[in-house]
Amino acid sequence: DQQVKQNSPSLSVQEGRISILNCDYTNSMFDYFLWYKKYPAEGPTFLISISSIKDKNEDGRFTVFLNKSAKHLSLHIVPSQPGDSAVYFCAASGRGNAGNMLTFGGGTRLMVKP
Amino acid sequence: EPEVTQTPSHQVTQMGQEVILRCVPISNHLYFYWYRQILGQKVEFLVSFYNNEISEKSEIFDDQFSVERPDGSNFTLKIRSTKLEDSAMYFCASSLGVVSPLHFGNGTRLTVT
């Protein structure tokens, strides 16, 4: 199932710089997108979401951009901090419904170096 | 901050045995879910539950699986006769509403031998 794809399995960034995590999707019925962060031995933690009626949503250091024509979204973290080191998952849902049947990407492991 | 709690953190069982995974969702949440992640694979949706009934389920959620909310606080996933391929991390989640982010528990690692 490749409906949601994160092509970079890992990303290394210097502290203070911008981290950009990318996600592509194929299902045009998806209309709600979320980013989750996951530390080892913990469950995914919700970070930020965006509805398909928007192209940008910002929350503190985190901004999500959505390009519907390209079926692409990205998560920008600026400035990156060592505590941001984790696996980041993008997820998508159809029918404007975050709750039902989230489809996850494979994750990108972000390492922020001090 | 309220959180979803799951027990046990690790469950080892023999093939063919029944197993029950337990979850306490966030108290004012109305929607409940189970997801799983097989080692090295993506997080996959299993089932969603609202108003004491299943609202959605995936192809993975076959007759071997069942969910229950036996009281006002617990939400359980039962696997009737476990198979080796059921070995995975099982995550419980809850959300306040239909268009609300899911809050996940820390998971139960199920190992079927």
Q: Which two tokens stand for residue B43?
A: 């997080």
Rounded percentage of chain A residues whose pLDDT exceeds 90 = 83
Q: Once rounded to an integer, what is the mean pLDDT over residues A63-88?
A: 97
Q: Out of A55-59, A60-64, B56-60, B89-93, which region has the weakest mean confidence (pLDDT)?
A: B56-60
User: In this predicted structure, what is the pLDDT of residue A98?
Assistant: 47
Q: Any idea of the CA torsion for A27, A38, A46, B59, to the nearest 10 degrees?
A: 40
Q: pLDDT tens across A25-60, in order?
A: 999 989 899 999 999 889 999 999 999 999 999 999
Instruction: Centre a 10 Å sphere on the Cβ of residue A21 and count the other Cβ atoms it contains.
Output: 22
Residue of B nearest to A108 (CA): B42
What's the confidence (pLDDT) of residue A60?
A: 97
The nearest CA of chain A is from the CA of B103 a distance in Å of: 7
Residue ranges of E strands in chain A? 4-5, 10-14, 19-25, 30-38, 45-51, 56-59, 62-67, 72-77, 86-94, 103-104, 108-113
* Higher-pLDDT residue of B89, B70: B89
- CB-nearest to A98 from B101, B106, B107 is B101
**Cα radius of gyration rounded to whole Å, chain B:** 13
Rounded to the nearest angstrom, the minimum Cα separation between A28 and chain B is: 18
Q: What is the mean pLDDT of residues A55-66?
A: 98
Q: Residue A51: which of A6, A89, A97, A88 has the closest Cα?
A: A97
> A36: which chain B residues are within 8 Å (Cβ-Cβ)?
104
- How far apart CA A104 and CA B111 sit, in angstroms, is 23
* Contact of A73 with A93, CB cutoff 8 Å: no
Please report residues of A whose CB lies closer than 8 A to that of B4: 43
CA atoms within 13 A of residue B94's CA, in its CB half-sphere? 22
DSSP designation for A76: E
Report pLDDT digits (tens) over B58-78.
999 999 999 999 887 899 999
Q: Diameter of chain B by CA atoms? A: 39
The answer on pLDDT for A96 being more than 60 is: no
Tell me, rounded to whole angstroms, the distance of Cα A71 from its chain centroid: 13
Burial of B46 (0-12, 13-18, 19+ CB in 10 A): buried
The reply to whether residue B104 touches residue A45, judged by beta carbons under 8 angstroms, is yes
Average pLDDT of chain B, as a whole number = 94
The predicted pLDDT at position B36 comes to: 97
Average pLDDT value for residue range B87-107 = 92
Burial class of residue B11 (count of CB atoms within 10 Å of its CB; 0-12, 13-18, 19+): middle
Using a CB–CB cut-off of 8 Å, the residues of A that contact B are 1, 32, 34, 36, 41-46, 49, 89, 91, 96-107
Preferred mutation among A88, A104, A109 to probe B, highest tally of B CBs within 10 A: A104
Instruction: Sort strands A108-113 and A10-14 into parallel, antiparallel or unpaired.
Output: parallel
Query: Which of A41, A98, A104 lies at the smallest CB-CB distance from B99?
Result: A98
Query: Sorting pLDDT into bands at 50, 70 and 90, what band is A100?
Result: low
The amino acid occupying position A7 is N
> Considering chain B, what percentage of its residues have pLDDT values greater than 90?
85
